[in-house]
A and B are shown apart, each in its own frame.
Chain A
Amino acid sequence: MTHAEAYDLLGPFVDGDLPDETRRRLESLLFADRDLAWEAQTLALTRARLREGMGEVVASDAFRARALARLHRDNPHLAAASAAAEEPTQYQLPIQV
């Protein structure tokens, strides 16, 4: 594996996407090449920082309620179907004579 090939594999390596054999070969190169090791380590740290540092975005209850109300208004076919389903069940049952 050349340095350029190893460099190209660092992205999949950080994501854990490499097959075992390729990963092992890359890891042995990382022990021998400080620049490559720095590259791998800083990419993994950047990914981790981004995940941990940015905080999770959670939709608030107010947003959920507002958006759902708007979506229901925009989809009147849902109300029509719900109303039909709520009709008295005796009209739907087979009548035994």
Chain B
Amino acid sequence: MTPQRSDSLDLRLLTRFREGDPRALETLFDQYADRALGLAVRLTETREDAEEVAQEAFIRAFRQSRQLRGEMASFGPWLFAIVRRLASDKRRQLRLPTLSLSSSETASLADANAADAYRETERRAEQATLLAALDSLPEEWRVVLTLCDLEDVPHAQAALVLGRSVAATKSLLYRARRALRDRLLEIWKESDETP
């Protein structure tokens, strides 16, 4: 679906939500739940924090849509911007770095059989490396990489979340990819040098 068609569908759903149609709320929630949670997961420390942030972002987005009526041009960027702000507040409260593999995830490795466990260990090591590299980047770079490269949010919508032009957002995305690549190379080099 093109961004324009998606925006137009969102606006129709928001109108129906304001008029009292519960299915409109549920459809919008279903449409954005994974992506909002995905962004929250990349920007907070634990899955619990991410779910709390995503849920609160939906609550605020729907409240604001009732209050602002015609002023909300599209739902997604609005919601993602709230997720970003809430995640930032949450991190400030906790004063912790973002993301690590949870102990429950690590523990579940023991349950798999040996071959599966080996592949799973490799996959998680790769994921941990990516997370470490992503986590070392400035917040704005993590946001643009998460939205554009992980959640497939169109550049125009990511631009609204970031408060930048589309061209500036693309430029930021390319700088962020280069920085991520350089950080990954450093991490791999460090692990190669470790005896």
Interface residues of A (CB under 8 A from B): 10-12, 14-15, 17, 42-43, 45-47, 49-51, 53-59, 63-64, 66-68, 70-72, 74-75, 77-82, 84
Interface of B is mostly: helix
A53 with B127: CB separation less than 8 A: yes
Report 8 cross-chain contacts, Cβ distance below 8 Å, ordered by A residue: A11-B173, A43-B174, A46-B184, A59-B54, A67-B58, A68-B25, A75-B66, A81-B22
**How long is the Cα–Cα vector from A80 to B184 in the complex, in angstroms?**
54
When the two chains form their complex, are residues A72 and B33 in contact, meaning their CB atoms are under 8 A apart? no
Closest B-chain residue to A12, C-beta based?
A: B170
Question: Which 7 A-B pairs have CB atoms at the shortest separation, nearest pair first?
Answer: A81-B20, A11-B174, A57-B38, A46-B181, A59-B33, A78-B22, A67-B55
Bound: A50/B152 CA distance, A: 12
Known A12-B170, A51-B149; judge A46-B180 contact (CB<8 A). Answer: yes
- B14 close to chain A: CB less than 8 A: no
For chain B, the bracket of interface size reads 35 or more
Partner of B51, one of A45, A63, A79: A63
Q: Could you tell me the distance in whole angstroms from the C-beta of B51 to the nearest C-beta in chain A? A: 5
Q: Does the CB pair A78–B181 fall under 8 Å?
A: no
Identify the B interface with A (CB < 8 A).
Answer: 17, 19-22, 25-26, 29-30, 33-34, 37-38, 41, 51, 54-55, 58-59, 62-63, 66, 123, 126-127, 130-131, 134, 145, 149-150, 170-171, 173-174, 177-178, 180-181, 184
Beyond the given pairs A59-B34, A66-B51, A80-B20, 13 more chain A to chain B contacts, judged by CB atoms under 8 angstroms and listed by A's residue number, are A10-B174, A46-B180, A49-B184, A54-B131, A54-B150, A63-B51, A64-B29, A66-B55, A67-B54, A70-B59, A71-B62, A74-B62, A74-B63
Q: Flag if B127 contacts A46 (CB, 8 Å).
A: no
Is A81 within 8 A of B34, CB to CB?
no
Closest to B60 in A: A74
Once the chains are docked, how many angstroms separate the CA of A51 from the CA of B126?
12
Task: Please tell me which one of the listed residues A50, A56, A74, A79 contacts residue B149 in the complex, with CB atoms under 8 A apart.
Answer: A50
> B55, A70: Cβ atoms under 8 Å?
yes
Q: What residues on B are CB-neighbors of A67 within 8 Å?
A: 29, 33, 51, 54-55, 58
Q: How far is the CB of A12 from chain B (nearest CB, A)?
A: 7
